[in-house]
Chains A and B, each alone.
Chain A
Amino acid sequence: MIALAGIESCKTLAEFLVNLIPGGVVFGLVEKDTFVWVKASDSFAMDIFTVGNKLNDDTTTMQAIHEKKVLTQNIPRTVYGKRVSIVSIPVIDDNGDTVGAFSIAFPKLHPVAAAFNDFAPILAEMFHEGAFLYMSDLTKFAYTQPSRKFDMPTITVGKDLSEADVAYRVIKSKQPIIEDVDASRVGVPLNVANYPLVEDGDIVATIGIVTPKKTAGTLREMSENLENSLTGIAAAIEELSASAMEIHSNEEDLNSDIKEIINVSEKINEVSDFIKEIADETKMLGLNAAIEAARAGDAGRGFGVVAEEIRKLSAQSKSTVPKIKQLTDTIKQKVEEASEKSNRSLDASQGQAAASEEITASIEEITSMSGELNTIAKTL
């Protein structure tokens, strides 16, 4: 308690202290129930601390006067709009009677809030895509800190919390919330983390950090595109390998057709051998007929002519044989060339089938990698 005689000293001291206390302070002297002297700091003042203002009985100061003892009370924001602590010290005259009180009021701040302006500017720059830090009390945004790279211009100090705000939900649920916000909200995907700040078991504020996730978003988008492209490629390769298989089976058919052609030309040769045999036989017949005709002398002359004709015919028939042979040889040669080419195609198509299988395997590997990438991108 302060003696009335020392009150002037207190006032003098208060004059010095008022702007030295971080967060600000307001001093006031009450006589009976009315402020007679008030000294407020530059950064903090209270309307109730006004000279001439008369106090109600339920105020801390009046209670201290009545109870004749020093009282400290934390006043919730519902009373003065901000949380304050008020210390009231009764003032006593020489007779020991309470004549008034010396009251000191200062804003009540969570230590995090008190330090916000110190750490937030530094912290905000520590994220490579920038960050936006903010604090809210139970109803309003109280502090904001943009970074050079990132700002949330819609969030301003003094703006009321709305149901959509993460801070609002944290206050309601009393639980921290970390969530992703897609690009539809502010143009880039965001991650919002918000924690409740508790004092004496009650939530008094929240602190939040908003980080843009442009890189992660881009990465996710790219990995999704990659996955889609890979699916397309895989389908194309499947078609490719199917057509390689078709080529393969066509070439096999072609090969067996070619063998058939070779068989047929062998058969032609057989037929032509038969023609040769007949021609030989006919020739002999003709020669024998000629001999016979000669032996018959004049009587055989006509027969000799016939014999000569027969020999000519046989010679003609026989002359077709090497021609046929030549033709079938050409057929065989061409067909063998075709067969060789088709075998090469067969090899090539086998190679193609093998290569497309290898590609398919690689694509599968890449697909699974891109799936992993996608998963990673989602957790960033």
Chain B
Amino acid sequence: MGSVQLVVFKLGEEEYGIEIGHTQEIIRIPKQITIIPDMPSYVEGVFDLRGKVVPIIDLKMRFGFTHTERSTDSRLLVLDLENSLIGIIVDDVSEVIKIEDETIEKLSSELLSLGGNRIQGIARIDDRLILLLDGLKFKTEVLTNSNE
């Protein structure tokens, strides 16, 4: 039986996890963000991360949250998805945990199809339910114009 390491972050009250292999680092939301015209509203803009231009996605907006305000705990989680860097704004990055594969419940294919494939399963740790993002599907989804 294998295990997987997750970076756990929050969107509103919900906890999300993404495989640590898809992450690069966590930083504060940069002060200087360059806005790119004619972009979907969830694309905040781009910023300079040590010489690399990285797009910033407001994940809550992308996921259709109605309340998207930020707090002092809001962070930018920089993901490394097949060598492209994407920054996602999350409410809080809470921890890095290792979970066993058997604690992960796959969602049924019917439910998955309703939710646009971005959630690959749910990890149960004690009373907590952590929604697991599928990194690769996430990339395609995020970089696909949702208005289309």
Given contacts A284-B27, A287-B95, A294 and B5 within 8 Å (CB-CB)? yes
> Which of chain A's residues have a CB closer than 8 A to the CB of B93?
284, 287
| Contact flags B46-80 to A (C-beta < 8 A → 1, else 0) | 00000000000000000000000000110100000
Task: Render B23-54 as a binary contact track against A, CB cut-off 8 A, 1 for contact.
Answer: 11111100000000000000000000000000
A65 an interface residue at 8 Å Cβ cutoff? no
**B24, B27, B75, B95: most-surrounded residue (chain A CB, <10 A):** B95
| Residue of A288, A290, A291 contacting most chain B CB atoms (<10 Å) | A291
Q: Is the CB of A295 within 8 A of B73?
A: no
CB under 8 Å from chain A, chain B span 104-135:
none
- Chain B residue nearest to A315 (CB atoms) is B95
Establish whether residues A291 and B96, one from each chain, have CB atoms under 8 Å apart when the complex forms.
yes
| A290→B21 CA distance, assembly (Å) | 11
Give Cα distance in the complex from A311 to B23, angstroms.
Answer: 17
Closest Cβ neighbor of A291 among chain B residues: B23
Interface string of A271-299 (1 = CB under 8 A from B): 00000000010001001101110110000
Say yes or no: B73 contacts A287, CB within 8 Å. Answer: no
Shortest CB distance A263–B (Å): 24
* Interface residues in B1-38 (C-beta closer than 8 Å to A): 5, 7, 20-21, 23-28
**Residues of the A chain whose Cβ atoms lie less than 8 Å from the Cβ of B5:** 294
A291 CA / B5 CA spacing, docked (Å):
9
Check: A92 CB closer than 8 A to any chain B CB.
Answer: no
- The answer to whether B21 and A294 have CB atoms under 8 Å apart is yes
Report which of B20, B28, B73, B75 forms a contact with A290, defined as CB distance below 8 A: B20
Known interface pairs A291-B96, A294-B5, A311-B96; A284-B20 also in contact (CB < 8 Å):
no
CA distance A307 to B20 in the complex (A): 14
| Chain A residues near B28 (CB-CB < 8 A) | 284
* Closest partner residue, chain A, to B9 (CB atom): A287
A292 to B26, CA, bound (A): 11
- The reply to whether A307 and B73 contact each other, CB–CB distance below 8 Å, is no
Main secondary structure of the interface of B (DSSP, over half): strand
* Given A284-B26, A287-B7: A295 in contact with B21 (beta carbons within 8 A): yes
The closest CB in chain B to the CB of A283 belongs to B93
Residues in A neighbouring B21, C-beta threshold 8 A: 294-295
Assuming A307-B96, A311-B96, is B27 touching A291 (CB within 8 A)? Answer: no
Smallest CB separation, A108 vs chain B (Å): 129
B24 and A291 contacting across the interface, CB-CB below 8 Å:
yes
A163 to chain B, nearest CB (A): 112
What is the CA–CA distance of A308 and B98 in the complex, to the nearest angstrom? 11
Contact between B20 and A288 (Cβ–Cβ < 8 Å)?
no
Complex contact B27–A287 (CB within 8 A)? no
Q: How far is the CA of A295 from the CA of B21 in the complex (A)?
A: 6
Nearest opposing residue in chain B for A273, CB measure: B72
The one of A280, A291, A308 that contacts B7, using a Cβ cutoff of 8 Å: A291
Q: Are A288 and B26 in contact (CB under 8 A)?
A: yes
Q: Nearest-CB distance from B52 to chain A (Å)? A: 16
User: What's the Cα separation between A284 and B25 when bound, in Å?
Assistant: 9
Residues in chain B near residue A308, CB distance under 8 A: 96
Residues of chain A within 8 A of B25, CB atoms compared: 288, 291-292
Residues of B within 8 A of A (CB): 5, 7, 20-21, 23-28, 72-73, 75, 93, 95-96
29 contacts between A and B (CB under 8 A): A280-B72, A280-B73, A284-B26, A284-B27, A284-B28, A284-B75, A284-B93, A287-B26, A287-B95, A287-B96, A288-B25, A288-B26, A290-B7, A290-B20, A291-B7, A291-B20, A291-B24, A291-B25, A291-B26, A291-B96, A292-B25, A294-B5, A294-B20, A294-B21, A295-B20, A295-B21, A307-B96, A308-B96, A311-B96
Which 5 residue pairs spanning A and B have beta carbons closest together?
A: A290-B96, A294-B20, A288-B25, A287-B26, A291-B23
User: A residues touching B (Cβ–Cβ < 8 Å)?
Assistant: 280, 284, 287-288, 290-292, 294-295, 307-308, 311
